[in-house]
A and B are shown apart, each in its own frame.
Chain A
Amino acid sequence: MGSITLQKVSKVFGEAKVIPSIDLEIKDGEFVVFVGPSGCGKSTLLRLIAGLEDVSGGKIVIDGKDATESAPSERRLAMVFQSYALYPHMSVRSNIAFPLKMAGMAKPEIDKKVADAARVLNLTDYLDRKPRALSGGQRQRVAIGRAIVRQPSAFLFDEPLSNLDAALRVNMRLEISELHQQLKTTMIYVTHDQVEAMTMADKIVVLNRGNIEQVGSPMELYSKPRNLFVAGFIGSPKMNFVPQGSQTLGVRPEHIQLSMESGEWKGKVVVAEHLGSDTFLHVNVEGIGQMTARGDGSFPAKAGDTVYLTADKARIHRFNEQGLAI
């Protein structure tokens, strides 16, 4: 139902080749996250799939049909915008009903569908309010409600949580994931936050300057990054990189053992971050430079102390001169 295939899709804006060429397959029911730094083209890619921008080359196939030339409304996709894009002059009810009205549905049927969506999203009490009388989280839900009623082949989310405060973001993350479990519809989600990507995705597409760096499940990307970029992008705090001749070694902070007595590398703590559950030490390692290591929450080191780091040999990544994993 909700399968999407991109074949050699490219996009040019004037002189700039924003997306050189992308091939991607999204299976029905998958939760796919496009992630990458600002300007990597993830939003552009989403908009190309939505039909809000025309491709400069290549084909977009939705549910087996070539949708490259189709208008957005013909593609049977629903989009949740970063700014929610609610119709300010319409009530919540009218907002959610709008796509059904455009499709020419009969009023009693529209009312039923709106009531259902409102129930699922806890909006029943707000149906007659206007968007300006709603909080950020409520507006977010209205935007999702408007997308749900259309029963689309796939949901497209364009950084939907960026405008929310941290606590709300965590809640909404869970809600969207639960929604996915419930509806089992394909979801394509764009974010620059790799935590959202890791926690929500079935499949992550890491983008960098218009190119796909790697596609895989969160764990795949975590344990088997294909290149330096993916290795440095996924995982927080960032992986430590140690140049060794023409190669680069990579080891994640959580794969380094800390000790006050002995270890492979010796260094002085520059900054110690005690989070309670973990301790992150930023250490100036002799002969290597700045490294980050994770220790247990009770690890007592503070700034100025001397500590010893030992990397877990099995978890060291090696990258060649081109930055590819060996």
Chain B
Amino acid sequence: MATLHTRSAARMMMAPSVLLLFAWMIVPLVMTIYFSFIDYNLLMPSDNRFLGFLNYEFFLTDPAFFDALINTLVLVLSVLVITIVGGIALALLLDQPMFGQGIVRILVIAPFFIMPTVAALVWKNMFMNPVNGLFAYIWRLFGAQPVDWLANMPLFSIILIVAWQWLPFATLILLTALQSLSEEQKEAAEMDGAGFFSQFVYIILPHMARAITVVILIETIFLLSVFAEILVTTNGGPGTSSTNLTYLVYNRALLQFDIGGASAGGIIAVILANIVAIFLVRIVGKNLET
């Protein structure tokens, strides 16, 4: 009588989701692995020789791969740094008493809810365009040559756009964690003679450690797959200067029609993501004891 259902009833209720997720996890992966070992190009679909690890070799030795790898890392790390440092700062700011706090929250949180394609296009056209964009206008106002952001600093521009979108997420999470810090702890620290900086380092930051960990984990997962922003602004260019791993595989598959090669790339991306995940969970996992 203690549990609501019998064992078998519970299992039946869980079955659909478990089966679906299992299929979703396994089937595409297996197929991608299969494709990665054959020669399959959509332009010449019938010739499907077994290639062994040739696709992998080509993919890994392609200079574009190395660029994509570096770009991916730079993108993820930069956005992480910007959002976490900025998020902590904003969280601390929003935790202070002020007038109209509710509205400021709305203003700060909003960018996260903008769909990536809109965000990217708004930035591309209305801010970063070297002729008509707002930045160009401001640059000219100070007598400087406007910068063609997307052409000259493509990766940086993308980092800016992505960071703008994810800063609210980090802020919201960190603010929630910050507000769970009891006022009494801070008061006790004050009685013990800790000034703001000491309180921040010894009390606030450790309290937020778990939330920071979670933000790093979640953001990394999503940032590894940044796609829409690149597609809609630079298409990975100029050259491969703003191509990340996701975009590279997309390019291979849907623009160059090289299914075999792209599949190898996809598997490499999966392996790398798993490595990062294990690495992350090990390093920061101790903070996540639930």
Residues of A within 8 A of B (CB): 51-54, 71-72
Contact = CB atoms under 8 A, between A and B. Distances in A.
Contacts of A54: 1-2
Contacts of B2: 52-54
A72 B1 CA distance: 9
Interface string B1-20: 11000000000000000000
Contacts of A51: 1
Contacts of A53: 1-2
A99 to B, nearest CB: 18
Given A54-B1, A72-B1, 7 more contacts: A51-B1, A52-B1, A52-B2, A53-B1, A53-B2, A54-B2, A71-B1
A51 B1 CA distance: 8
Interface of B: 1-2
Nearest to A51: B1
A71 B1 CA distance: 7
A97 B93 CA distance: 50
9 contacts: A51-B1, A52-B1, A52-B2, A53-B1, A53-B2, A54-B1, A54-B2, A71-B1, A72-B1
Contacts of A71: 1
Contacts, number: 9
A16 to B, nearest CB: 15
Contacts of B1: 51-54, 71-72
A323 B211 CA distance: 53
A14 to B, nearest CB: 13
Nearest to B2: A53
B7 to A, nearest CB: 15
Nearest to A54: B1
Nearest to A47: B2
A71 B2 CA distance: 10
Contacts of A52: 1-2
A18 to B, nearest CB: 14
Contacts of A72: 1
A54 B3 CA distance: 11
B40 to A, nearest CB: 55
A45 to B, nearest CB: 15
A139 to B, nearest CB: 25
A70 to B, nearest CB: 10
A53 B1 CA distance: 7
A72 B2 CA distance: 11
A53 B2 CA distance: 6
A69 to B, nearest CB: 10
Q: Which 8 A-B pairs have the closest CB atoms?
A: A53-B2, A54-B1, A71-B1, A51-B1, A54-B2, A52-B1, A72-B1, A52-B2
A173 B2 CA distance: 31
A49 to B, nearest CB: 13
A215 B164 CA distance: 71
Nearest to A70: B1
A54 B2 CA distance: 8
A54 B1 CA distance: 7
A46 B28 CA distance: 54
B36 to A, nearest CB: 48
A19 B10 CA distance: 30
A43 to B, nearest CB: 14
A53 to B, nearest CB: 6
B195 to A, nearest CB: 38
B9 to A, nearest CB: 17
B3 to A, nearest CB: 11
Nearest to A53: B2
A50 to B, nearest CB: 10
A158 B171 CA distance: 44
A31 B1 CA distance: 27
A110 B1 CA distance: 28
B119 to A, nearest CB: 40
A319 to B, nearest CB: 40
A52 B2 CA distance: 6
A299 B2 CA distance: 56
A86 to B, nearest CB: 20
B162 to A, nearest CB: 42
A67 B2 CA distance: 16
A248 to B, nearest CB: 42
A287 B45 CA distance: 101
B153 to A, nearest CB: 55
